[in-house]
Amino acid sequence: MIAHLYEKFLTHLKLSRGASEHTLRGYRHDLSAFSLFAEKDICKEERGKISKRLIRRYLAHLHEKRSGTRTVLRFLSALRGLYKFAMREKLVDDNPLEAIENPKKGKKLPVSVSYAQVELLFEQPDLSSYLGLRDRVIMEVFYSSGLRLSELVGLNRRDFDVRNQLLNVFGKGKKQRQSPITKTASEWLLRYLQHPERSRVEKDPAALFLNRWGGRISARSVDRNFAAYLKASGLTDRITPHTIRHTIATHWLEKGMDLKTIQTLLGHTSLSTTTIYTHVSPKLKQEVYDKAHPRA
């Protein structure tokens, strides 16, 4: 069967491609599981050969085990890599995976939280400290604008238009857009920029948000700070900067903002990406149900 093939393949990955032990363990697990299934399930006419029919039976077996799409894709990736190697080395005559298509990845619905949960999280930073103030301002800007984490940490001071309460944002693909923020968020931001401690530690005067040493704050630091405040809040839901982005988009939609405007504010290339928020909000689901049901 394929055991002798995948051992050669794994040796090739290790020696020629420098694959990590983690990758090798994952490939060995997936390929050995398939090999064991094949030994038990293979038809007499398929003895010694992997067929398209056998692979489809194994995919059905994974489905019966309720394996997720990621598991199936990982297996197919390992098997495709194996057969690409085997064909190149002339260890097999044909590739049974040519007619096998990958399952489509199901879109995960974005997670949002309630306004009360947002408020509780925002109450955690210690406003008497410079760093606590900075973290509260970051939260306010996230909830006001719906920025991505990478967009927020990339902001420069010159990107903040105080008079018009706008942020000049460089999003995915270096696409530029203007993101309005609330008066409240603008006031918080000014308070942070004018804090005497900031001028004392500042080593990167261009950056809008600084770390404790005065350089530009990193995305990892913001994530770590959010995790600490979440733990302190006692909230059970996992709230990250991206959760805040999803939350404000959902709240905008619930307040009646049109999808095209939300698309522009979030920097989505496609409107279909923004449309997914209509499936997230329980309030919107209820509204759709009430309008559609004849007895509602």
CATH number assigned to the domain comprising residue 11: 1.10.150.130
User: Residues near 10 by Cβ (< 8 Å), separated by ≥ 6?
Assistant: 19, 24, 27, 28
- Residue 98 CB: number of other CB atoms within 10 A? 9
Tell me the mean pLDDT in the region 97-102.
82
> Which residue range(s) make up the domain with 137?
115-291
Which tokens sit at 146? 């719906």
Predicted confidence at residue 162, as pLDDT, reads: 94
**Is 35:75 a contact under the CB 8 Å cutoff?**
no
Residue 40 and residue 183 in one domain: no
Residue 172 and residue 225 in one domain: yes
295 labelled catalytic: no
Predicted confidence at residue 296, as pLDDT, reads: 41
Predicted confidence at residue 101, as pLDDT, reads: 83
Question: Looking at 63, 84, 172, 231, which residue is catalytic?
Answer: 172
Q: Which of 21-30, 45-54, 217-226, 227-236 has the lowest mean pLDDT?
A: 45-54
Distance CA 121, CA 39 (A): 54
Predicted confidence at residue 281, as pLDDT, reads: 64
| pLDDT over 70 (residue 47) | no
Tell me the mean pLDDT in the region 254-264.
88
277 labelled catalytic: yes
245 labelled catalytic: yes
Question: Looking at 6, 130, 229, 277, which residue is catalytic?
Answer: 277
158 labelled catalytic: no
Structural domain includes residue 35? yes
Domain boundary among 67, 99, 131: 99
Residue 145 and residue 88 in one domain: no
Tell me the mean pLDDT in the region 212-237.
94
Structural domain includes residue 190? yes
Structural domain includes residue 105? no
Question: Looking at 148, 192, 229, 246, which residue is catalytic?
Answer: 148
- What's the chain's average pLDDT? 86
Residue 222 and residue 164 in one domain: yes
SS (H, E, C) 123-192: CCCCCCCHHHHHHHHHHHHHHHHCCCHHHHHCCEHHHEECCCCEEEEECHHHCEEEEECCHHHHHHHHHH
61 labelled catalytic: no
Query: What is the three-class DSSP state of 210?
Result: strand
Question: Looking at 134, 136, 251, 268, which residue is catalytic?
Answer: 268
Which tokens sit at 175? 């696409």
Residue 40 and residue 174 in one domain: no
102 or 286, which is more confident?
A: 102
Ranked by mean pLDDT, the top range of 42-51, 207-216, 279-288 is 207-216
| Number of domains, the chain | 2
293 labelled catalytic: no
Predicted confidence at residue 293, as pLDDT, reads: 42
Residue 77 and residue 180 in one domain: no
Predicted confidence at residue 289, as pLDDT, reads: 45
Structural domain includes residue 263? yes
**1-35: per-residue pLDDT in tens?**
566 787 888 888 888 878 778 888 888 898 888 88
Tell me the mean pLDDT in the region 114-119.
92
H or E stretch covering 217:
none
**170-215: per-residue pLDDT in tens?**
987 778 999 999 999 999 999 999 999 999 999 999 999 999 999 9
Tell me the mean pLDDT in the region 226-232.
95
Predicted confidence at residue 68, as pLDDT, reads: 81
Question: Looking at 134, 136, 245, 246, which residue is catalytic?
Answer: 245
